[in-house]
Amino acid sequence: MNAPDYHIPGSAAVAPAADAGPDEMASARTVNEVLAQSQVESVLDELERDLVGLAPIKQRIRDIAALLVIDKLRINLGLAAEAPSLHMCFTGNPGTGKTTVALRMAEILHRLGYVRKGHLVAVTRDDLVGQYIGHTAPKTREVLKKAMGGVLFIDEAYYLYRPENERDYGQEAIEILLQVMENQRDDLVVILAGYKDRMDTFFKSNPGLSSRIAHHLDFPDYAVDELSQIAQRMLTQQHYHFGDGAEDVFRDYLERRIGQPHFANARSVRNALDRARLRQASRLFSERDRVLDKADLTTLVPADLLASRVFQNPSS
Ligand SMILES: Nc1ncnc2c1ncn2[C@@H]1O[C@H](COP(=O)(O)OP(=O)(O)O)[C@@H](O)[C@H]1O
Ligand SMILES: [Mg+2]
């Protein structure tokens, strides 16, 4: 399983889910009763507050939440026939917030009672597909077992399908996934993630998978302003801040970096800030006898950013 490389902004502030028993939920007749009993609104509010930008995504999440709340009320009046299909596809470039939003989605699904546990298991092809004959089915089933009761997040899902290789074991994993997505959808939600164009191609070759996806969310790239705000939030969370002039230098950095290869949106912001902190530490480390006060230890100065390669060689 992949080591989680994500960080959930403000996750510590998530209020514990109300332990409204199934009976209490089953008596709800108004939207407000479902909201109060599930406490799903606090997750929506946090999504709104903690994540910069992403307006279309936030709206889609609210729409999905509304659908589920109404579905609950329908169930309570004996109207719903079967578990709704909730499998989703999150497309977008790296660092646009797909994993972060998937974690929140898992929590929303849990609070509304669509999955028992609400955890998220993030995997890639290597976690599902074996190298040798007979290895793939047990690997895939093991992952599915871990994800039951929560969300299975398959990053770069299109790598499961390798048309150039006739006997690729990925196909076996896809077939098992399809079965589980159909038969156990009351206990497992699958989110496929990756680049939009590759996902579209993948779906064309795998219409069975495509038809089981109920919601497609496309994550836009962030603008410089948004990346700058994201940087501010990341720094605040880590008890750092930009000193005089550093914010402008960071904007300049973003404007140069955004057009370069391998730019990865908010992830590149996180990495750039990590490197700036390293430089700040080296700078402070060299002044062996100076008393370092709180301001010294929390401030990133322009020099900590200007040492970046982006400024040394702007054409590369
Ligand atoms: N809108 C946002 N506001 C604040 N932080 C964000 C936002 N989007 C992404 N991040 C942060 O950027 C990093 C990468 O996000 P992630 O969800 O892993 O992106 P993806 O899965 O699309 O590659 C994480 O540390 C995440 O917390
Ligand atoms: Mg991710």
Percent of the chain with pLDDT over 70: 91
Nearest residue to 161 (alpha-carbon basis) of 207, 122, 120, 115: 207
Per-residue pLDDT band at 8 (split at 50, 70, 90)? very low
Residue nearest to atom 11 of ligand 1 (CA): 266
Mutation test of ligand 1: which of 100, 151, 191, 263 has the most ligand atoms closer than 8 Å to its C-beta?
100
CA angle 271, 199, 56 (to 5 degrees): 65
Residue 141 scores a pLDDT above 80: yes
User: At which residue do the structure tokens 């089953």 appear?
Assistant: 26
pLDDT tens column, 121-137: 999 999 999 999 999 99
Query: Which ligand lies nearest to the CA atom of residue 231 in the structure?
Result: 1
Q: What is the pLDDT of residue 90?
A: 98
- According to CATH, the topology of domain 224-311 is Helicase, Ruva Protein; domain 3 (1.10.8)
Residues with CB under 6 A from ligand 1: 6-7, 9, 51-54, 92, 94-100, 230, 233, 266-267, 270
Mean pLDDT confidence for 61-66: 95
Residue 10 confidence (pLDDT): 39
Per CATH, the number for 22-219 is: 3.40.50.300
pLDDT at 197 over 50: yes
Domain spans in the chain, listed from the N-terminal domain onward = 22-219, 224-311
What is the distance in A from the centroid of ligand 1 to the CA of 165?
34
Please write the tens of the pLDDT for every residue from 165-177. 878 899 999 999 9
Ligand 1 nearest atom to the CA of residue 51, by list position = 3
Neighbour tally for 183: CB within 10 Å: 10
Distances (CA, A) of 298 to 234, 270, 277: 13, 16, 9
The model's pTM:
0.90
**pLDDT number for residue 16:** 44
Q: Which protein residue has the closest C-alpha to ligand 1 atom 4?
A: 51
Which of 48, 267, 269 best tests ligand 1's pocket when mutated (most atoms within 8 Å of CB)?
267
Ligand 2 centroid distance, CA of 146 (Å): 19
Distance 226 CA to ligand 2 centre (A): 18
Q: Do 155 and 124 form a contact (C-beta atoms < 8 A)?
A: yes
Is 60 exceeded by the pLDDT of residue 11? no
- Of all protein residues, the one whose alpha carbon is nearest to atom 13 of ligand 1 is 267
CB atoms under 10 Å from CB of 125, counted, come to: 18
The b-or-e profile of 209-222 (16+ CB within 10 A means b, else e) is bbebbebbbebbbb
**Four-residue CA torsion sign, 185, 22, 69, 157:** negative
- Mean local confidence (pLDDT), 190-206: 97
Encoding tokens for residue 162? Answer: 């390798």
pLDDT in tens, 203-244: 999 999 999 999 999 999 999 999 999 999 999 999 999 999
Expressed in angstroms and rounded, the spacing between residue 100 Cα and the centre of ligand 1 is: 6
Atom of ligand 1 nearest to the CA of 233: 4
SS3 of the chain: CCCCCCCCCCHHHCCCCCCCCHHHHHCCCCHHHHHHHHCHHHHHHHHHHHCCCCHHHHHHHHHHHHHHHHHHHHHHCCCCCCCCCCCEEEEECCCCCHHHHHHHHHHHHHHCCCCCCCCEEEECHHHHCCCCCCCHHHHHHHHHHHHCCCEEEEECHHHHCCCCCCCCCHHHHHHHHHHHHHHCCCCCEEEEEECHHHHHHHHHHCHHHHHCCCEEEEECCCCHHHHHHHHHHHHHHCCCEECCCHHHHHHHHHHHHCCCCCCCHHHHHHHHHHHHHHHHHHHHHCCCCCCCCHHHHHEECHHHHHCCHHHHCCCC
* Angle, CA 246 vertex, CA 245 and CA 250 arms, to 5°: 125
What CA–CA distance (Å, rounded) separates 131 from 244?
A: 54
119 CA from centroid of ligand 2 (Å): 15
How remote is the CA of residue 101 from the centroid of ligand 1, in Å?
8
